[in-house]
């Protein structure tokens, strides 16, 4: 069990995925500065009830740790950062500090094993291959792993227009092939097409 600063958001981050953020609240400016100085992660967690700016009433039980891989000053003077997802975790306890920053006692979940993409899911890998360029940087320059079921399923889960509740369900899966099957069941692409 470790203590991790939490960044509640209306998004779900997956391991190896990217998340651009604009930072303006003092609690998160301080958190980002500390994480950058220490090279330490923070936790991205879905807001179940409440708002990103202001009061968060309820957060999800599962999230993903993130590290800052790039930063810049935005034209409006705000700090822009790009984060990369690392490891899935479960929140055991949470609290809020006097400065408003949420903290969580979390346990990391076992990393998913690399599983070769089964033949019957190749159409999903091809769909992802066609989709990635439309999302621009950092997706156009990220190392690709189209033969890895976990990587393909995680990228589809973060990029496809599915509900946040579904994204959270897909994050909780510990079987990469089951995640791919979820997409095949909802007929993201016709069965057998390429």
CB distance 80 to 71 below 8 Å: yes
Indicate the DSSP class of residue 110.
Answer: P
Pair (58, 101) in one structural domain: yes
Contact status, residue 16 vs residue 85, Cβ threshold 8 Å: yes
Per this entry, what is the length of the chain?
Answer: 194
Full residue range of the structural domain in which residue 102 is found: 2-108
Look up tokens 């997409």; give the residue: 183
How confident is the model at residue 155, as a pLDDT?
95
pLDDT at 194: 41
Question: Which residue, among 90, 28, 91, has the nearest Cα to 54 in the 3D structure?
Answer: 28
- Please report the DSSP string for 136-186 in residue order: -TTTTTSPP-TTBHHHHHHHHHHHS---HHHHHHHHH---HHHHHHHHHHT
CB of 84 closer than 8 Å to CB of 17:
yes
Q: Are residues 138 and 82 in the same domain?
A: no
CATH at 45: 2.30.130.40
Instruction: Indicate if 8 and 102 belong to the same structural domain.
Output: yes
123 plus 36 within the same structural domain: no
Q: What is the CATH number of the domain that holds 143?
A: 1.10.4060.10
Domains of the chain: total: 2
pLDDT score recorded for residue 193: 42
Residue 114 is assigned to a structural domain of this protein: no
The answer as to whether 69 is a domain residue is yes
Global pTM?
0.88
b or e along 86-121 (b: 16 or more beta carbons within 10 Å of the residue's beta carbon)? bbbbbbeebeeeeeebbbbebeebeebeebebeeeb
User: What are the pLDDT tens digits along the chain (194 aa)?
Assistant: 899 999 999 999 999 999 999 888 888 889 998 999 999 999 999 998 877 776 788 899 999 999 999 888 777 777 888 999 999 999 999 999 998 899 999 999 999 988 999 999 999 999 999 999 999 888 888 889 999 999 999 999 999 999 999 999 999 999 999 999 999 887 655 444 44
């Amino acid at each position: 069990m470790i203590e991790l600063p939490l960044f509640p958001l209306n998004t779900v981050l997956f391991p190896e995925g990217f998340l651009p953020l604009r930072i303006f609240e003092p609690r998160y400016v301080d958190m980002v500065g500390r994480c950058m100085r220490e090279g330490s992660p923070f936790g991205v967690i879905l807001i179940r009830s409440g708002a990103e700016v202001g009061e968060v009433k309820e957060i999800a039980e599962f999230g993903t740790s993130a590290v800052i891989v790039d930063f810049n000053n935005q034209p409006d003077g705000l700090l822009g950062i790009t984060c990369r997802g690392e490891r899935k975790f479960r929140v055991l306890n949470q609290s809020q500090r006097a400065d408003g920053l949420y903290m969580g006692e979390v346990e990391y979940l076992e990393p998913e094993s690399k599983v070769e993409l089964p033949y019957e899911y190749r159409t999903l890998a091809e769909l992802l291959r066609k989709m990635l360029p439309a999302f621009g940087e950092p997706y156009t320059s990220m190392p690709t792993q189209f033969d890895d079921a976990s990587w393909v399923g995680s990228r589809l889960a973060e990029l496809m227009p599915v509900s946040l509740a579904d994204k959270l369900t897909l994050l909780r899966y510990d079987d990469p092939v089951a995640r791919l099957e979820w997409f095949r069941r909802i007929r993201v692409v016709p069965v057998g097409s390429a």
